[in-house]
Amino acid sequence: MPPGSRGYDRALYIQPFDHRGSFQSGLFGWKPPLSDAQTAEIAGSKQIIYDGFQAALAAGVPKDKAGILVDEQFGAAILRDARAKGFVTACPAEKSGQEEFGFEYGDDCARHIEAFDPTFCKVLVRYNPEGDRALNQRQAGHLKRLSDYLAGSPHRFMFELLVPATKPQLDKLKGDKKAYDLELRPRLMVEAIGELQASGVEPDLWKIEGLDRREDCQAIVRQARIGGRDHVGCIVLGRGENEAKVDEWLTTAAQVPGFVGFAVGRTVFWDPLVAWRAGKATREQAVVEIAGRYRKFVDLFEER
């Protein structure tokens, strides 16, 4: 399928909760292998997030612009329910918490995608164009296989690009991560997208770390849409930042054509789930809080 036939340029407000390792260790303090009871308890916590998402839709968030991203391990029942209700769904293909991209289900990846029939197959990839070249080439090879498969399927391709700083890059900035985010990361993201495109990796939608400047968002869109990829979209991810910072990123991106929405997860659901888990909030209170936080970000993007 040629690059120009790929893309997703409609508004899309994703509630992502495909986190696996961070739920097991961060929220529950457990280490794998998990018992059936522990797996069921994590699945139950994800149902709270899903209930919050549905409450937000009931309160006015447009269904055709809303979607969920959840994993098969803890969210299989949610994926099936969301699919039955006609929601936009996305399911991750990558192993959780790995520095190098690898398929969660190895060569069986396609069968799992077909079983859940998501709107999007999503990958999370750490790719720094000035980093380990052999690593980048290995990842690009795996991702091209997936890209080619998805091009011949009804499923769209969502690519979450993370560009972590290398040690030499941080050393040049005396360890200042904020300076890296402002001064280096935007250029590196554009280069990473270009290298992946040159390797035959063709997402419909790029899931992008937040950017502070409008011109950096514009540069990302230009690269994402280069060479006839006119309908490829970009969405902003929350990266677990505080609400004020996510507000800034979304406000900046919302002004730029080509940025069609967001995927904000932990900023929406983490504190409500921690309060519920600690017995400081009821399940219903957590649902209401998650719905309100998600709807606030939707309203911010809708008001652009």
With contact defined as beta carbons under 8 Å apart, do 24 and 31 qualify? Answer: yes
pLDDT number for residue 6: 84
pLDDT number for residue 4: 59
pLDDT number for residue 1: 46
Rounded to an integer, the average pLDDT of 278-285 is: 98
Judged against a pLDDT cut of 80, whether residue 67 lies above it is answered with yes
Tell me the pLDDT tens digit for each residue of 17-66. Answer: 999 999 999 999 999 999 999 999 999 999 999 999 999 999 999 999 99
List the domain range (segments joined by +) for residue 99: 3-302
Rounded to an integer, the average pLDDT of 228-254 is: 96
Q: Which residues of 169-182 are buried (b: 16+ CB within 10 A; e: fewer)?
A: bbeeeeeeeeebbe
Judged against a pLDDT cut of 90, whether residue 97 lies above it is answered with no
To the nearest whole percent, how much of the chain has pLDDT over 70? 99
- Domain with 254 in it: what CATH number? 3.20.20.70
Judged against a pLDDT cut of 90, whether residue 149 lies above it is answered with yes
**What's the mean pLDDT when you consider all of the chain?**
96
Record the tokens describing residue 265, joined without a space.
């997860």
pLDDT number for residue 62: 97
106 pLDDT tier (thresholds 50, 70, 90):
confident
pLDDT number for residue 107: 84
Amino acid at 284: E
pLDDT number for residue 271: 97
Highest mean pLDDT among 94-98, 102-106, 107-111, 224-228: 224-228
Question: How many domains is the chain built from?
Answer: 1
